[in-house]
Amino acid sequence: MKFAKKILCAALILAAVAGTVFAGGKTESAQGGQLDKIRNAGVLKVGVKSDVPNFGLLNTASNTYEGFEIELSGLIAKEILGDAAKVAFTPVTAATRGPLLDNGDIDLVIATFTITEERKLTYNFSTSYYTDAVGLLVKKAAGISGLDGLDGKTVGVAQSATSRQALEAAASAVGASVKFAEFATYPEIKAALDSGRVDAFSVDRSILRGYLDSETVLLDDAFSPQDYGVASKFDNKELASYIDGLIQKWLGDGTIKALTDKYKI
C-alpha cells in the first residue's frame, strides 16, 4: 500500500512536471517569438515616411515607396523572410508612428525617427543608422538669412517632433526669441508658410528638402543632431536586439554607407 502510494505520488509529480513543461511550451508557442510571428505572417510591417525624398517617399505615379529607409526595410525583410519584397509599408507621421507601434499595426518604424532619452523609455531603438540635423525653410521674399533673423517671428513645427525643443535652444543661443505654431502634418506647415501664417518651417533638413520649391529657400543653419534609429514596441526585446545586430553589421560592412551614397544623403 505504502509502495503503491509512493508510485502514485511519483506519477502525480511526473504528471505535474510534464504538465508544467507542456504548458510552458504551449505558452511559448501560443505567444510565439516575435521573429516567428513575422515569419508566420509572411510579411514585415514597417511604418515609413511617404513625403521625405531619398528616405521614404511614395511615388504616386507607380504607387511604390522609394528611398534609403525603404531599402533598409527590404534588407531586414530579406534577413527575416528571405525576400526583400515581403514588406508591407504603412505611411506614418511624427504623431502616428508611436501609436501604430503600440497597437501592433506595424512591427517596426523606419521613418526619420530620432533616438532620444525620453523616447527610449517607451520604444526600443536600434543603433543609429543615420544622423541628420534640424533646419529652417523660409520664403525667399522674407529676407530671413539665418537663425538670428527669426527674433519675434513665428515658426511652424510638427506635434510630437523634436523640432520645437531643438529650435528653442538654438534660437536662444543666438539671442533670438521665437514663437511657435504646432501642426499635425508637414503639408499643413508648408501651407501656413505659403499663406504667411508662419514665418519659417522647422524640422530635420532631410524632411524640409521635400517641401523646397521655387518660392522657398532652405537656410544653411543646421543644428541639434538627429540620430535616426529603427524603433520597435517596447516589449519586443527579441526583435529589437535582432534588428540592432543587423544595423551594427551593416554599419560595419559598408552596406549602409553604400545606400547613403546611392541616395546622396
Q: Which residues bind ligand GLU (CB under 6 A)?
A: 94, 112-114, 158, 161-163, 203-204, 207, 226
Considering the complex, what minimum distance in angstroms separates the CB of residue 201 from ligand GLU? 12
Question: Which cell is 214 given?
Answer: 521655387
Nearer to ligand GLU, 38 or 125 (CB): 125
DSSP strand E in the chain: where? 44-48, 51-52, 56-59, 64-66, 87-91, 108-109, 123-125, 130-139, 154-158, 179-183, 200-204, 216-218, 223-228, 231-233
Nearer to ligand GLU, 113 or 183 (CB): 113
Q: Which residue has the cell 528611398?
A: 67
CA atoms in the 13 A half-sphere facing the CB of 91? 12
Considering the complex, what minimum distance in angstroms separates the CB of residue 238 from ligand GLU? 24
Nearer to ligand GLU, 163 or 236 (CB): 163
Considering the complex, what minimum distance in angstroms separates the CB of residue 207 from ligand GLU? 6
* Contact of 246 with 76, CB cutoff 8 Å: yes
Considering the complex, what minimum distance in angstroms separates the CB of residue 70 from ligand GLU? 15
Nearer to ligand GLU, 38 or 158 (CB): 158
- Cα–Cα distance list, 192 to 5, 48, 215 (Å): 83, 24, 13
- Cα–Cα distance list, 99 to 108, 123, 160, 223 (Å): 12, 11, 11, 28
Nearer to ligand GLU, 133 or 142 (CB): 133
Considering the complex, what minimum distance in angstroms separates the CB of residue 166 from ligand GLU? 9
